[in-house]
A and B are shown apart, each in its own frame.
Chain A
């Protein structure tokens, strides 16, 4: 089945810990994205990548880091510098960066305990 797989579905983080959220796609898409969604809020762009070994900051990149070593994979690390990390994290991909449809994984719900 072609699609976007995010793992884990639920993640709990202790204060001061870094955690990494996985996102893998087998759609052969060049562009990948990470969004954050807070309750009752829209999606806010954290990072995006147009191609392997290239990524750009979105609107709320502080406290997050990404890598794009393979076309299929775009992991997101939530660092201890992110002061309010509890949120629903969504990974998406599209054929190219502009003017094409983006498809989402099932999301990872991160909670700080």
Chain B
């Protein structure tokens, strides 16, 4: 069973704080992990991808991957009201049916 789990939120943080979003997945053999941002009524936009254990930083965003714990997270530093959106975690499940499975998303609200 392919599962990607996220806390639905809403997660509320004040402007300038660090927002921490978490995701767990069921397949120990998964190799690729992605974070998408989706504004209300819009399509998902890719913001981070990570393929190996450890941290990957891109501007204010840091993705963290721990394959042993089957856990991937996204940190947003210096959160801005424009970061208010739903963040979707996605995982590629391998094997004969390789495809991209999404969690239900965490809604983030950044308060001015």
> CB within 8 Å of B: which residues of A?
33, 35, 40-43, 45, 48, 56, 58, 90, 92, 94, 97-107
Q: Are B102 and A98 in contact (CB-based, < 8 A)?
A: no
CB distance from A69 to the nearest CB of B (A): 21
Q: In the docked arrangement, what's the CA distance between A8 and B49, Å?
A: 29
Q: Which residue of B lies closest to A96 (CB)?
A: B98
Q: Which residue of A lies closest to B93 (CB)?
A: A98
Q: Mark B39-73, 1 if CB is under 8 A from A, else 0.
A: 00011111001010000000000000000000000
With A42-B88, A56-B97 known to touch, is A101 a contact of B46 (CB < 8 Å)? yes
Q: Are A104 and B99 in contact (CB-based, < 8 A)?
A: no
CB distance from B107 to the nearest CB of A (A): 9
Chain B interface size band reads 20 to 34
Q: Are A105 and B43 in contact (CB-based, < 8 A)?
A: yes
Q: Which residue of B lies closest to A106 (CB)?
A: B43
With A42-B104, A42-B105, A43-B88 known to touch, is A102 a contact of B98 (CB < 8 Å)? no
Inter-chain contacts of B17 with A (CB < 8 A): none
Q: Are B43 and A42 in contact (CB-based, < 8 A)?
A: no
Extra contacts, 7 of them, besides A45-B100, A102-B100 (Cβ < 8 A), are: A90-B44, A98-B92, A98-B94, A99-B92, A104-B44, A104-B45, A107-B43
20 contacts between A and B (CB under 8 A): A40-B104, A41-B104, A42-B4, A42-B88, A42-B105, A43-B44, A43-B102, A90-B43, A94-B100, A98-B32, A98-B92, A98-B98, A99-B32, A99-B98, A101-B49, A102-B90, A104-B43, A104-B44, A105-B43, A106-B43
Inter-chain contacts of B44 with A (CB < 8 A): 43, 90, 104
Q: In the docked arrangement, what's the CA distance between A35 and B90, Å?
A: 13
Q: Which residue of B lies closest to A57 (CB)?
A: B97
Inter-chain contacts of B105 with A (CB < 8 A): 42
Q: Which residue of A lies closest to B31 (CB)?
A: A99
